[in-house]
Amino acid sequence: MTHHDPKVLVTGGAGFIGANLVRTLLQHDFQVSVLDNLSTGRREHLQGLPVTLIQGDILDVRAVNDAVAENNYIVHLAAQTGVPGSLADPRRDCETNVIGTLNVLEACRHQWSQRIDADRSAGKFVLASSNAPLGRQPAPASEDKAALPIAPYGASKLAAEGYCLAYHGSWQLNTIVLRFGNVYGPFSAHKDSVVAKFFKDIRADGRLMVNGDGHQTRDFIHVEDLCRAVLLALRSNVSGEVFQIATGEETSILELASLVQEAAGVDACIEHGPARQGDIRTNYSAIAKVRRVLGWLPEIQLRDGLHQSWTWFDSYFAKHRS
């Protein structure tokens, strides 16, 4: 194998972001393997694609070592992916997000060490993180703010970020941390994120349940824009850095509800439930660093991205009619 064989392992590649990323990577001539325990991801997300799917767990050191072998690029998506799961079982959240990440980094350190000695550009490891490590910092989320996590999910992602940076500092592993905003798009029917939830609500009974007054804001990024950022990160010479990946734009949940109805071509009934405990009022990201260093900018407007996503959801619903 040469250093320049574009072979990539995507952990968690059968999930929402993974299903989209795998397609992007294939379009850019990567040979793709996926390590996924299929806990939330689905085999059907990869159906018909020239991808090696290894059904295994990132907590299984041998499975991780075998999966990392031969790959010089890693995108580490596999995780316990949300605040509620981390509140329900903080130990599992910690094991999956911290020890799981450590296992993948260790496999890279051992297997890439010779290559890295010979060529410092060999190997690239991209971690999927989020704004959760920043926790109670006021918006906008940015790389220069101290992490002040609120939920165990924020703490476990922060630890994973820390290990990525430490493996760069101690062993020159080429790691990059990407903190994703609220990602939406195709292959997210299994998710409980607000866009997926609204689409499913419309399909179920045409009622959109908004937590609290709906004036809380989020930064919604289309998964195709996000995948372009991951691709740039994989190919860049930059490492040991953290980047916010979002649009830099705030959208309130009520605005989103209106755009979702427009995309689906329906008039839904909006109902207000209680505000979620610990829900952050204003959340968006400053994206100057990724623009300057990686030359990345989001391109898909929320209105267009929601139309495209609804087309996918509509055909998903048609296929999965019970």
Ligand X SMILES: NC(=O)c1ccc[n+]([C@@H]2O[C@H](COP(=O)([O-])OP(=O)(O)OC[C@H]3O[C@@H](n4cnc5c(N)ncnc54)[C@H](O)[C@@H]3O)[C@@H](O)[C@H]2O)c1
For position 96 contacting ligand X by CB under 6 A, the verdict is yes
For position 57 contacting ligand X by CB under 6 A, the verdict is yes
For position 94 contacting ligand X by CB under 6 A, the verdict is no
For position 14 contacting ligand X by CB under 6 A, the verdict is yes
Q: How many residues does the chain have?
A: 322
Q: How many helices (H) and strands (E) does the chain have?
A: 11, 13
Of 36, 161, 219, 224, the one binding ligand X (CB under 6 A) is 36
Of 33, 71, 72, 81, the one binding ligand X (CB under 6 A) is 81
Please list every residue from 118 through 147 that binds ligand X, using CB under 6 A. Answer: 128, 130
Cβ distance 36 to 51 under 8 Å? no
Of 30, 32, 40, 151, the one binding ligand X (CB under 6 A) is 40
Q: What is the DSSP string of 77-121?
A: --S---HHHHHH-HHHHHIIIIIHHHHHHHHHHHHHHHHHHH-TT
Q: Is 316 a catalytic residue?
A: no
For position 58 contacting ligand X by CB under 6 A, the verdict is yes
**CA–CA dist 134, 147 (Å, integer):** 4
Candidates 52-60, 110-118, 267-275, 296-304: pick the segment binding ligand X (CB under 6 A): 52-60
Least spacing, CB of residue 180 vs ligand X, in Å? 4
Of 153, 163, 184, 284, which residue is the catalytic one?
Answer: 153
**CA–CA dist 27, 20 (Å, integer):** 11
Please list every residue from 157 through 216 that binds ligand X, using CB under 6 A. Answer: 180, 182-183, 191, 193
Of 6, 26, 31, 38, the one binding ligand X (CB under 6 A) is 38
**CA–CA dist 19, 224 (Å, integer):** 11
For position 52 contacting ligand X by CB under 6 A, the verdict is no
**CA–CA dist 264, 249 (Å, integer):** 22
- The H-or-E segment that residue 150 falls in is none
Bridge partners, 179 (sequence order): 129, 244
Please list every residue from 232 through 271 that binds ligand X, using CB under 6 A. Answer: none
**CA–CA dist 302, 279 (Å, integer):** 22
Please give the backbone phi and psi of residue 205, each rounded to the nearest 5 degrees, phi first: -150, 15
Q: Is the dihedral of CA 251, 256, 216, 241 positive or negative?
A: negative
Candidates 51-59, 233-241, 246-254, 307-315: pick the segment binding ligand X (CB under 6 A): 51-59
Least spacing, CB of residue 194 vs ligand X, in Å? 10
Least spacing, CB of residue 34 vs ligand X, in Å? 8
For position 16 contacting ligand X by CB under 6 A, the verdict is yes
Q: Where are any strands of DSSP class E within 188-299?
A: 207-211, 217-218, 220-222, 241-245, 251-252, 269-273
Size of the site for ligand X (CB under 6 A): 28
For position 15 contacting ligand X by CB under 6 A, the verdict is yes
Least spacing, CB of residue 10 vs ligand X, in Å? 9
Radius of gyration in angstroms for the set of CA atoms belonging to the chain, rounded to a whole number: 19
**CA–CA dist 242, 128 (Å, integer):** 10
For position 37 contacting ligand X by CB under 6 A, the verdict is yes
Q: Which is nearer to ligand X, 85 or 123 (by Cβ)?
A: 85
For position 25 contacting ligand X by CB under 6 A, the verdict is no
Q: Which residues are catalytic?
A: 153
Contacts with ligand X, residue ranges (CB under 6 A): 12, 14-18, 36-41, 57-59, 77-79, 81, 96, 100, 128, 130, 180, 182-183, 191, 193
